[in-house]
Amino acid sequence: MQLYNNLSAKERAELIEQAGKERLTVSFYKYAKINNTEIFRNHLFLAWDQLEVLGRIYVANEGINAQLSVPAENFEPFKNHLDTISFLENVRLNIAVEHDNFAFLKLKVKVRNKIVADGLNDASFDVTNKGVHVNAEKFNELIEDPNTVLVDMRNHYESEIGHFKNAVTPDVDTFRESLDLIEEDLREHKEDKKLVMYCTGGIRCEKASAYYKHKGFKNVFQLEGGIINYVRQIEAEGLENKFLGKNFVFDERRSERISDDVIANCHQCGNPADLHTNCANEACHLLFIQCDECKEKMENCCSSNCMEINQLPFEEQKALRKGQGNSNDIFKKGRADHLPFKKDLRNIFESFEPK
């Protein structure tokens, strides 16, 4: 019984190319009580491996969070399998705006403590007591309301390349950081303001909406299906697009363009740019924004030092990495000190005055 991958990413990529099948990039989540997560995890792997599903799926006692790709010809069997699981029947599936057959190269189904890392240890906090879900049309109405505070629940490197007009964009590295920060800055407006939130696919907002209701906020709303679903709705219904730039995604594509606006800058030269890349030096692997000119000049590296290392023979690079562990810069995601045009840290509400 195969419960884990036995092919490398390279081998899988070759098979995908040889197959020549169109693949769909799909994401979904569901908060639900799952008792035996290991058995559930194994069940999913066995079923989805047969359908050639690839992706990153987290299972926890609080539910499931999945980002994956599936051959278009297997989409209906995949959906039918989901419908055989009681709490996943008719679950909303977010189909990506842009597809890439190589977005995922392995099937990884992992058991985690939580499907969204939140750092919360409050037994009285009920994640199912969520805020009001709104569609794209209602969302557009709400964010024009002067009594609304619109908050981006994503991290700084996500909102840096794209966000909704007039949104408060927390300058944080983790979801957990934003929870307390937003509550503190809006503590005087728990009853008189409408707190409207959005994220990539809805999963962070769902937990955040339940958290803020738990903390006493009276009017809490979230964008149903996040940015991914919003884009599909505005295109289908001919609604005004209020999103600027690109939507950051967590696969090999790294982003989907939503509007023609380029709102970010290359972290190396400062010119307009909104394409994230990882430093080619495997000992660094820093995620940062790099324009095409700097990409060519710096050979896809974040610094001259990394470029020099990356030019060494592979075995020498491997020897240098041995026993060193990951560079701390990996976790800075574009805020490493040597990047002259990195995004500056600031208070998220310093320019926000409640109306």
Q: Which helix (H) or strand (E) holds 203?
A: helix 203-214
Strands 255-257 and 243-248: antiparallel
What is the C-alpha to C-alpha distance for residues 161 and 175, in angstroms, rounded to an integer?
17
Q: Which residues of 63-83 are buried (b: 16+ CB within 10 A; e: fewer)?
A: bbbbbbbbbeebbeebeebbe
Rounded CA separation 93/28 (Å): 5
User: In the annotation, is 199 catalytic?
Assistant: yes
Q: List, in order, residues 6 or more apart from 199 with CB less than 8 Å away.
A: 152, 153, 154, 205, 223, 226, 227
Element (H, E) at 40: helix 37-50
Catalytic residue among 199, 291, 294, 302: 199
Residue 315 neighbours by CB under 8 Å, 6+ apart: none
Output the CA torsion 146→149→154→160 (10° steps): 50
d(C-alpha 78, C-alpha 82), whole Å: 6
C-beta separation of 295 from 277 below 8 A: yes
State the alpha helices, DSSP H only, in 215-335.
226-237, 292-297, 304-310, 314-321
Q: Which of 228, 271, 235 is nearest to 253 (CA)?
A: 228
Q: Which residues are CB-neighbours of 112 under 8 A, at least 6 positions away?
A: 58, 59, 60
Please identify every residue annotated as catalytic: 199
